[in-house]
């Protein structure tokens, strides 16, 4: 009985417990609650994945109103795959969050952070789960509004300006998505994504539908920080509490990449978006720009958080590059990179969290010789960095290799050169941190014995994600296997 309602429980459980956190008014209790809730949603995501991996999709009509009149939740393999990524990141990060958050924000605000976190989780899960275009907009705004709040919660006053900038740009992006939904409704009279794709067949070449696709792509490009619309991302990741950066880096941008894939493949149609409107050519130019710009900017940074933020822009470029190749293999590479990048970036940000907890700084110039004082954390950062570069036997390699294969088979030689060149650039920026950690004379301030080592749960979370990097580099049935199945399902 309960198992029939798993799709709605996935979204509603965090939504219900978010206000409970506010009522509790206690940081520790809220943390326990948020951890429990994210574990439960993680279990539900696993159950959903096992039940759809056989190939039978689940549709759930909200309130018994059958689509297209009612709102429908739709779980196919792509949805379940994204749910798994979001929930895995959310569960591990929130369990590890307690001491790190307590050290970074005022203690009377902690419960508000956990409430915002659960709301954000609701929004992200809802975006992935919903089969209704307007519902998608609402969930995007739930996720975005709570992330503005989570960014502005830090003690550093610069976070306020970063949050406001994100709020302005994010609202413009969401409004563009709303315009797109309105135009689609105007030509078809329906909001259900799958119903829309059926009815668009007859009216595809009208200006209204083309405008809708353009508005949607630009709106999503702002939200997913696709170059050159990434301006909010570096500040938001740098000035927010490091746990928030970890969570955002692991989930938010990926969900919007999902929305782009869903709209292109399930709604507008591959044929219309790519062959008639050559959206792929536009995306390819942007993606190449992102990959090069992000990597070059990352080399110039002194703050590790900012370095990782620019590296995220480059990695988002890889995901978009996979989509823009417009073949089944390219899409599979993109989806696999969504998974791998979540694993890589969370590992890297968690190691930064350990460093910040102990030394309260993330500036490379102040962390010379840190490997002497935090050997495990430095080693974890090194392994995460190797995975980011794409060294064989790490997760980062598998999706990059798939991307290179896709470029080869589609005949894009120049893309292969760009991918290899930007990998060399990523060696440079990872090396910048590794060199400071291992080969510089230790800074005197770091030898201070009064500093407190990072909490055990934070280390456990870090180890889980670093081991995941190595595990998914050799055992590719989850990331590459699912990505290929999903791409096959979407293209055919």
Partner 1 sequence: MEILGLFNYWAVIFLMMSGLYIIIAHDNLVKKLIGINIFQTSIFILFISLGKVSGGTAPVLTESAQLYSSPLPHVLILTAIVVGISTTALGLAIIIRIYKAFGTIEDNEIQQEL
* Site for partner 1, rule CB under 8 A: 134, 137-138, 141, 145, 148-149, 152, 157-158, 160-161, 163-164, 167-168, 171-172, 174-175, 178-179, 182, 185-186
Nearer Cβ to partner 1 (22/179): 179
Closest approach of Cβ 167 to partner 1, in Å? 5
Q: Which residues, including other chains, have CB under 8 Å from residue 202's CB and lie 6 or more apart?
A: none
Closest approach of Cβ 142 to partner 1, in Å? 8
Nearer Cβ to partner 1 (72/141): 141
Closest approach of Cβ 250 to partner 1, in Å? 23
Closest approach of Cβ 108 to partner 1, in Å? 15
Closest approach of Cβ 435 to partner 1, in Å? 28
Nearer Cβ to partner 1 (181/437): 181
Closest approach of Cβ 345 to partner 1, in Å? 25
Nearer Cβ to partner 1 (21/353): 21
Chain centroid to CA 171: 19
DSSP SS3 for 270 = helix
Nearer Cβ to partner 1 (109/440): 109
Closest approach of Cβ 283 to partner 1, in Å? 24
Sign of CA dihedral 404, 331, 489, 341: positive
What backbone phi and psi angles, to 5 degrees, belong to 70?
A: -95, 175
Nearer Cβ to partner 1 (191/389): 191
302 neighbors 365 (Cβ within 8 angstroms):
yes
Nearer Cβ to partner 1 (15/467): 15
DSSP-derived letter for residue 446 is: G
Nearer Cβ to partner 1 (177/286): 177
223 neighbors 173 (Cβ within 8 angstroms):
yes
Nearer Cβ to partner 1 (138/391): 138
Angle at 81 between CA 58 and CA 472, to 5 degrees: 150
DSSP SS3 for 279 = helix
Q: Which whole-number Å values give the CA distances from 376 to 247, 437, 459, in the listed order?
A: 22, 12, 9
Nearer Cβ to partner 1 (161/439): 161
Closest approach of Cβ 101 to partner 1, in Å? 19
Q: Mind spelling out the 3-state secondary structure of 415-434?
A: HHHHHHHHHHHHHHHHHHHH
Q: Which residues pair with 303 in a beta bridge?
A: 363
First to last CA, the chain: 33
Closest approach of Cβ 22 to partner 1, in Å? 15
Closest approach of Cβ 244 to partner 1, in Å? 15
Sign of CA dihedral 330, 335, 339, 342: positive
Counting other chains too, the contacts that 443-450 makes at CB distance below 8 Å and 24 or more residues apart are 443/366, 443/367, 443/368, 443/369, 445/359, 445/366, 446/359, 446/367, 446/368, 446/369, 446/370, 446/372, 446/373, 447/373
Nearer Cβ to partner 1 (19/392): 19
Q: Which pair of structure tokens corresponds to residue 160? A: 């306020």
Beta strands in 138-182 (DSSP E): none
d(CA 251, CA 343): 10
Closest approach of Cβ 334 to partner 1, in Å? 29
d(CA 440, CA 131): 53
């Amino acid at each position: 009985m309960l198992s029939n309602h798993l799709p709605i429980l996935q979204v509603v459980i965090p939504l219900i417990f978010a206000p409970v956190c506010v009522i509790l008014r206690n940081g520790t209790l809220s943390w326990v609650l948020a951890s429990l809730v994210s574990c439960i949603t993680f279990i539900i995501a696993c159950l959903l994945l096992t039940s759809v991996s056989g190939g039978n999709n689940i549709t759930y009509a909200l309130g018994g109103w059958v689509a297209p009149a009612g709102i429908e939740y739709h779980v196919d393999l792509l949805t379940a795959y994204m749910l798994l990524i979001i929930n895995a990141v959310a569960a591990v990060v929130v369990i590890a969050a307690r001491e790190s958050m307590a050290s970074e924000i005022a203690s009377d605000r902690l419960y508000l952070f956990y409430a915002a976190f659960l709301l954000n989780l609701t929004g992200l899960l809802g975006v992935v789960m919903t089969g209704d275009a307007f519902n998608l907009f609402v969930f995007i705004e739930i996720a975005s509004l709570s992330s503005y709040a989570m960014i502005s919660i830090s003690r550093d006053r610069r976070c306020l300006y970063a949050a406001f900038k994100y709020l302005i740009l994010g609202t413009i992006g969401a409004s563009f998505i709303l315009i797109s939904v309105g135009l689609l409704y105007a030509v078809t009279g329906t909001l259900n994504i799958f119903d829309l794709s059926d009815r668009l067949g007859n009216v595809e070449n009208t200006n209204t539908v083309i405008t809708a696709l353009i508005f949607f792509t630009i709106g999503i490009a702002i939200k997913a920080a696709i170059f050159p619309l990434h301006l909010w991302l570096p500040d938001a990741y740098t000035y927010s509490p490091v746990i928030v950066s970890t969570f955002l880096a692991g989930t938010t941008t990926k969900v919007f990449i999902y929305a782009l894939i869903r709209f292109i493949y399930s709604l507008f149609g591959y044929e219309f978006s790519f062959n008639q409107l050559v959206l792929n050519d536009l995306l390819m130019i942007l993606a190449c720009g992102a990959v090069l710009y992000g990597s070059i900017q990352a080399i110039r940074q002194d703050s590790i958080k900012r370095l990782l933020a620019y590296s995220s822009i480059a990695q988002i470029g890889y995901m978009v590059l996979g989509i823009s190749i417009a073949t089944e293999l390219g899409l599979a590479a993109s989806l696999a990179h969504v998974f791998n990048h979540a694993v890589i970036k969370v590992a890297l940000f968690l190691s930064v969290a350990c460093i910040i907890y102990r030394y309260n700084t993330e500036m490379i110039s102040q962390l010379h010789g840190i490997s002497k004082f935090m050997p495990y954390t430095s080693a974890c950062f090194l392994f995460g960095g190797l995975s980011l570069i794409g060294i064989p036997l790490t997760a980062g390699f598998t999706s990059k290799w798939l991307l290179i294969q896709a470029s080869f088979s589609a005949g894009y030689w120049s893309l292969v050169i760009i991918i290899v060149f930007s990998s060399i650039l990523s060696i440079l920026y990872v090396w910048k941190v590794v060199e400071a950690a291992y080969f510089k004379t230790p800074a005197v301030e770091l030898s201070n014995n009064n500093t407190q080592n990072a909490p055990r749960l934070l280390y456990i979370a870090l180890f889980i994600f670093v081991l995941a990097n190595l595990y998914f580099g050799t055992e590719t049935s989850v990331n590459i296997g699912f990505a290929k199945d999903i791409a096959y399902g979407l293209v055919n």
